[in-house]
Amino acid sequence: MTEIIIETHPLAPFLPANAKLLMLGSFPPPATRWKMDFYYPNLQNDMWRIFGLVFFQNKNYFLSNDLKGFNEPLIRAFLTQRGIAINDTAYQIKRLQNNAADKFLEVVTPVDLAALLVQIPDCRHIMTTGDKATATLLQLLPAGTPIPTIGHPSETILNGRQLTLSRLPSSSRAYPLALERKAQVYQNYFTNIGLLN
């Protein structure tokens, strides 16, 4: 029986100094699925199509010209301009199967959330994009922090900072909701927190 190795997160946190929002996923897919060296790098994941629809009414806005990859510089510039930080809730994991499915990820070491937040002092919103990310985040927050559900945010205080926690639909195609419906939920969220006029 092969030993399951511990993987350490391959990407640095993306933390624009002006960030108002921290987006937290679970952990990147295996590198063989990557189309760029950044978050949500799998072409089969719809996060950047959701962002394209929400902010530019074009699901292909953040894709490369041939639609076979992503325009990473455009994504980074956009997130910096809007004040959106991204990281994952797991720093080290064991992949119980060779895929990115949350149910087969075992979190070995969670992210140091307090250290992330120190670097983005204006951040008051944390958004998770899946059950694993939400469950891992709650372990890093004060006991008794209410679990956010889709459409129902919760509040907590960490190191004196008031935080609003929100759970949004997973951008994975395994999550059974049409792309346009997901984009509508994200659009409402970004509007409510002041990142979309």
Domain boundaries, the chain: 6-192
pLDDT band of 180, cuts 50, 70, 90: very high
Select the more confidently predicted residue: 145 or 97. Answer: 145
23 alpha carbon, distance to own chain's centre: 4
The CATH code that applies to domain 6-192 is: 3.40.470.10
Residue 55 has pLDDT above 60, yes or no: yes
* Angle in degrees, CA 155, 159, 162, rounded to 5: 30
Q: How confident is the model at residue 175 (pLDDT cuts 50, 70, 90)?
A: confident
Confidence of residue 2 (pLDDT cuts 50, 70, 90): low
Band of pLDDT at residue 99, cut at 50, 70 and 90:
low
For 136, the token pair is 């891992």
pLDDT value at position 46?
96
Q: What is the DSSP letter of 63?
A: B
